[in-house]
Amino acid sequence: MKEYVVIYEWTGKNYSAYAPDLPGCVACGDTLEETDALMKEAISLYIEALKEGRQPIPEPVTKAKLVSVAA
């Protein structure tokens, strides 16, 4: 099992998400929960397609951390 960082963004109308280590693997939805579920499905399909094409599966290398600053 691999864990990939997923970035979620509010666009003003809905949420979008992408996995930096999986180029082109994206999803969007009306809620964060919907977007999360769609992104999990997108990652599964992405990896399945790579396997079917006998392509290497990218290693998860991106890290994310919240940083607190005075604003």
Question: Please, how many CA atoms are within 13 Å of residue 11, restricted to the half-sphere of its CB?
Answer: 12
Question: From start to end of the chain, where are the E strands?
Answer: 7-10, 15-18, 26-29
pTM for the model: 0.91
- Burial classification of residue 29, based on how many CB atoms lie within 10 Å of its CB (0-12 exposed, 13-18 middle, 19 or more buried): middle
**Model pLDDT for residues 4-45, shown as the tens digit of each residue:** 999 999 999 999 999 999 999 999 999 999 999 999 999 999
The predicted pLDDT at position 61 comes to: 98
Kindly state the helix (H) or strand (E) to which residue 5 belongs, with its residue range: none
The predicted pLDDT at position 5 comes to: 98
**Model pLDDT for residues 48-61, shown as the tens digit of each residue:** 999 999 999 999 99
The predicted pLDDT at position 62 comes to: 98
